[in-house]
Structure 1
Amino acid sequence: MRVTSDEINQAKEIPLIDFINANGIDVQQEGNSSEPYYRVMEHDSLVIKGNKFYWNSRSEGGFGSISFAMTYYELSFPEAVNRVNGHEYGSLTNTQSVEKKPFQYPDYYEVNETAVIKDYLTNERGIDGRVVDWCIKKDLLVQDKKENAVFKWKDRSGKVIGGDRQGTKHIDSKRGTFKQIMPNSAEDKGFTIDVGRNPDKIALFESPIDMLSYWSIKKEKVQGTRMISMSGLKLKTLVQTMKDMKQGGQPINKIMSCVDRDDAASRFHNKLKGVLNKNIFEDHRPSHTKDWNDELNNIINKVQVSSKKQSYGR
């Protein structure tokens, strides 16, 4: 894919906040009126000031819409230029979001094969094969034509209202693999699994991988729990989950913070601790590692080392 110098110059002209609004990225204005900056609600460590941005939790930053598109959407330079130029901007320089299109799940991308995602999730990420098989059986996890794992977000009626795409191939980026929240996914929802018919507990995670890792470790201890991935750190996902449970007549006796142990997640965790009743709030963050997938693989490695020692001692 190639882009011309005119196309590059055109993309450079687009103010960063206009690109953000045109893509329906939810931001909150902070700071004073003379020097405002914007925080991306989905990733609250990602801050925009003028045409500059900085993603604190990932130690990445840049200038302009092209650089932002490359970082946020994991695009190559030509792909980012085309993404920036692919919108009608008009006058979008205020912070009001453009009208968001309804989510449409691209089921034509699905394939019947699941071997690649099963191999990636079980052998590379360490997730219990029974957990993976259960998600596939419930049509919550599918493989797409590009061999990505697609985690479907479903409402109470079973309608798909959003999704996460997790790459299975290594790419040259700090994240290591392709990751995407599908465009126009419900802003206050996420990948959700109910363990038990009438859950009275909520467990909050940053990603589907972390959620399934936690379940793999805890196994039968996870009972009566609605596990939900916020696909980031989104307080509004918890708020909506609480509303949904109360409307369904389900009491909420416990809210468990299962987020990462990094600066951004710690701020979110402390925010929850400050606003929730201390009788229902519980800290379920990983004890020894950054996130629950690291915790899972740490446990697997210890078991493997122990098994080798026992075999050598015979």
Structure 2
Amino acid sequence: MPYVTPEQIQRAKQMDLLTYLQYYEPHELVRFSGNVYTTRSHDSLKISNGKWNWWSRGIGGRSALDYLIKVRGMTLPEAVLQIDGQMTITPPVPSRKHEPVEPKKLLLPEKNENNDRVIAYLTKRGIHSILIDYCLRTGRLYESHPYNNAVFVGFDRTGTPKYATLRGTSNRRYMGEANGSDKHFSFSIPASKQCCRLHLFESAIDLLSYGTLKLLSGRDWQLENCLSLAGIYRPKKNIEESTPPAPLMQYLKDFPYIEDIVLHLDNDIPGRLATKAIQTILPSRYAVYDEPTKRGKDYNDYLRIVLRIEQSWERE
């Protein structure tokens, strides 16, 4: 086994992964978004703020030395020599500070003078008035002007609106997002008290349908956290190379006490594939459960079956 000196080890520890890849393996570095990078070999490995995390394996670190040992499988002497040898050939130029990325500015649609059409639309889909009132009162829902769309708003931890999805309230099928939406902060309803369980849905309406079903069964509909993925999650063909959905990654970062994740994705091929992918790539510290609807394609289908509401609305 090769011998390395304490001085070589110390020098190697000072090299962060981003700098290492920028100068010695630029072909391996891929920009993900803003100041976040990934690698060509492992796109579930993210590098940002001087740290790296390999989501699909649940491991991370700070230095290039950590990366070469934990990801590349090198021994400590091999990794030290890899870094130290590169440094003696091409001393790295101190990395330039990245220009600050201009944060997205959410442009919410103008509010209508009332929410009558939104209330009527959700009521016809079976959503209970208690949930509708809660969403209106907390700013998570309103009716837009002049198109009378339902606007479902997502917030960051400070309570600042960061995301909005729009849903047509007439029989004309319309779905969209407000300009400047950041999908990391999609529509959600937190538990009334700190809770370690998170329920995951494809859409805001499925989330509200699930809450309605709990309320109708006499249970506390705000006992546990609920999050919408703001649409269908599509993993990569090679599931193990997929990155978890952005809203889920952000939620787990913001609420690190989450331990259990319950998946309520659709009963169709994309929904089942998304479920399998999330179960596969989430770190093992999370307990992940699959609980699709008992009947119908999604939770709003099931709610309307339970309430015997005519299936007249367009599919999600």
TM-score after normalising by structure 1:
0.58
Cα 1:268/1:100, change in 2 over 3 Å = farther
Q: Is the 8 A contact 1:201 1:224 kept in 2?
A: no
2:147 matches 1:137: no
Can you list the C-alpha shifts for 1:170-227, whole angstroms capped at 9, x where unaligned? 22xxxxx211122221132210111222121111111111100010001234444221
CA RMSD of aligned residues (A): 2.7
Q: Paired residue for 2:267? A: 261
Deviation of 1:100 after TM superposition, in Å, equals 7.8
Q: Paired residue for 2:183? A: 187
Deviation of 1:104 after TM superposition, in Å, equals 2.4
Instruction: Find the residue that maps to 2:185 and give its secondary structure.
Output: coil
Deviation of 1:111 after TM superposition, in Å, equals 1.8
Can you list the C-alpha shifts for 1:71-119, whole angstroms capped at 9, x where unaligned? xxxxxxxxxxxxxxxxxxxxxxxxxxxx887222335x10230111101
Instruction: Find the residue that maps to 1:203 and give its secondary structure.
Output: strand
Separation in structure 1 between the aligned mates of residue 174 and residue 102 of structure 2, nearest angstrom: 24
Structure number with bigger Rg: 2
Can you list the C-alpha shifts for 1:209-264, whole angstroms capped at 9, x where unaligned? 11000100012344442211111234222111111101xxxx22310101111111
Q: Is the 8 A contact 1:181 1:231 kept in 2?
A: no
Instruction: Find the residue that maps to 1:169 and give its secondary structure.
Output: coil
Can you list the C-alpha shifts for 1:12-35, whole angstroms capped at 9, x where unaligned? xxxxxxxxxxxxxxxx9x9xxxxx
Separation in structure 2 between the aligned mates of residue 214 and residue 224 of structure 1, nearest angstrom: 12
Identical positions, percent: 25
- Paired letter, 1:139: G
Structure with greater contact order relative to length (CA < 8 Å, sep ≥ 6): 2
Instruction: Choose from 188, 201, 209 the match for 2:205.
Output: 209
Instruction: Find the residue that maps to 1:188 and give its secondary structure.
Output: helix
Instruction: Choose from 249, 252, 264 the match for 1:242.
Output: 252
Q: Paired residue for 1:6? A: none
Instruction: Find the residue that maps to 1:163 and give its secondary structure.
Output: strand
Q: Is the 8 A contact 1:103 1:162 kept in 2?
A: no
2:222 matches 1:228: no
Q: Which runs of 5+ in 2 are unaligned?
A: 1-37, 41-100, 234-244, 310-316
Instruction: Find the residue that maps to 1:297 and give its secondary structure.
Output: helix
Between the two proteins, the alignment pairs up a number of residues equal to 199
Separation in structure 1 between the aligned mates of residue 195 and residue 148 of structure 2, nearest angstrom: 33
Separation in structure 2 between the aligned mates of residue 104 and residue 281 of structure 1, nearest angstrom: 32
Q: Paired residue for 1:117? A: 118
Instruction: Find the residue that maps to 2:183 and give its secondary structure.
Output: coil
Can you list the C-alpha shifts for 1:130-158, whole angstroms capped at 9, x where unaligned? 11011111111111111111011111221
- Paired letter, 1:287: K
Can you list the C-alpha shifts for 1:34-75, whole angstroms capped at 9, x where unaligned? xxxxxxxxxxxxxxxxxxxxxxxxxxxxxxxxxxxxxxxxxx
Instruction: Find the residue that maps to 1:209 and give its secondary structure.
Output: helix
Q: Paired residue for 2:294? A: 287
Cα 1:180/1:299, change in 2 over 3 Å = same
Separation in structure 2 between the aligned mates of residue 275 and residue 101 of structure 1, nearest angstrom: 28
- Paired letter, 2:265: V
Deviation of 1:285 after TM superposition, in Å, equals 1.2
Q: What are the residue-to-residue correspondences of 1:140-219 with 2, within 5 Å?
A: 140-145=140-145, 146-171=147-172, 177-219=173-215
Separation in structure 1 between the aligned mates of residue 123 and residue 149 of structure 2, nearest angstrom: 14
Q: Is the 8 A contact 1:100 1:184 kept in 2?
A: no
TM-score after normalising by structure 2:
0.58
| Structure with more of its chain in helix, by fraction | 1
Cα 1:274/1:141, change in 2 over 3 Å = same
- Paired letter, 2:104: P
Q: Paired residue for 1:174? A: none
Q: Which runs of 5+ in 1 are unaligned?
A: 1-27, 31-98, 172-176, 303-314
Q: Paired residue for 1:274? A: 280
Deviates more, 1:179-188 or 1:113-122: 179-188
